[in-house]
Amino acid sequence: MAKRRLLVTGSNGFVGGHLLSAAAGDPQARFEPVDFIDPATGTRPDLRNGEAVARAIAAAAPDAVVHLAAIAAPREAQKDPSQAWAVNLTGTLNLAQAILAHAPSCRLIWSGSSEVYGASFNRETLPIRETAALEPLTAYGATKAAGDILLRQMAEDGLQVAIFRPFNHTGPGQATDYVVPAFAAQIAGIEKGVQEPVLKVGNLDARRDFLDVRDVVAAYLAAAAAPGIVPGGRYNLSTADPVSIRDILDRLIALSSVEVEVVVDADRYRPNHVEVASGDNGRAFEAFGWTPRIALNDTLRDVLDFQRSLL
């Protein structure tokens, strides 16, 4: 079987790095990574530049595109919504149009977000299913919801797209803007003696599905390699087993070698507009045989070890 030409936007990011590593280590050798390069400039195209994106897709001639490039940090999107909309929505439109025009048989794997559900988490029976209304509460969630709707419409025009809605995911290499590596970095600093034994935290009460990034990229690659897809199909990536942020913290502390004092930092504290966010993952299992396989404690240990390795 010929290898599928795989293009990854955002390949330099946290998820992109793990995805390319997984593709390279795929035991069935199903993928041949191709570069996302504008031949007119020899550089990666800005997703906001439709002509550059079209040239890059035409040159790459991909069989599958995993679209990860985005303004992905919710706080960053909230600070500059215009930038988030331009990249997350207009950039996605440019990419999808380029695929339809220059690689119409190409399969697009869209990395959306569980934040598209927003207020629906407070009304629906949990774990939430893909049929729930999209009612985002953040600028980031709104951009992802708009992209979700856009791509479902474009599936009617012939776009071969699988729409994923991943819940919280973490792993080694994630930036400390996110809660798990933020805790782990502080613990590693305390162990090393470069930080006082005081661990600063925000709101610990929210409960979330937490996935390992390596399980998430396994879903994307499964969709990229599947014999066929339902164009416009939507798939939660989740555990259906939410845990509190407090539990995450307690588990990380238990994996460490030090005693710490936990202090709530007013600068880190945010109110919870959604107390519990959890998703049903049955559709992803039925379509791609996907289920999360990496235990949460193993993920947390790997994140902590990564932060230790930086000191």
Output phi, psi for 224, to 5 deg: -65, -30
Residue 123: pLDDT band with limits 50, 70, 90: very high
Mean pLDDT value across the chain: 96
Give me 141's structure tokens.
Answer: 């969630």
Say what the pLDDT of residue 75 is: 85
Q: Average pLDDT of 223-252?
A: 97
Q: Who wins on pLDDT, 148 or 72?
A: 148
Contacts within 8 Å (CB) and 24+ apart, 258-264: 258/187, 258/190, 258/191, 258/197, 259/197, 260/187, 260/190, 260/197, 260/198, 260/199, 261/197, 261/198, 261/199, 262/199, 262/201, 263/198, 263/199, 263/200, 263/201, 264/200, 264/201, 264/202, 264/204
DSSP code string of 52-116: HHHHHHHHH--SEEEE--S---HHHHHH-HHHHHIIIIIHHHHHHHHHHHH-TTPEEEEE--GGG
Residue 267: pLDDT band with limits 50, 70, 90: confident
Give me 308's structure tokens.
Answer: 């230790």
Q: Which helix (H) or strand (E) holds 297?
A: helix 296-309
Q: Average pLDDT of 148-153?
A: 98
Q: Are 221 and 187 in contact (CB under 8 A)?
A: no
Say what the pLDDT of residue 1 is: 64
Q: Average pLDDT of 256-280?
A: 91
Output phi, psi for 36, to 5 deg: -100, 85
Rounding to the nearest 10 degrees, give the CA dihedral for residues 200, 167, 119, 159: 140
- Model pLDDT for residues 75-92, shown as the tens digit of each residue: 899 999 999 999 999 999
- Model pLDDT for residues 170-218, shown as the tens digit of each residue: 999 999 999 999 999 999 999 999 999 999 999 999 999 999 999 999 9
Whole-prediction pTM: 0.97
Residue 91: partners with Cβ closer than 8 Å, 6 or more residues away? 47, 48, 53, 69, 70
Is pLDDT above 90 for 269? no
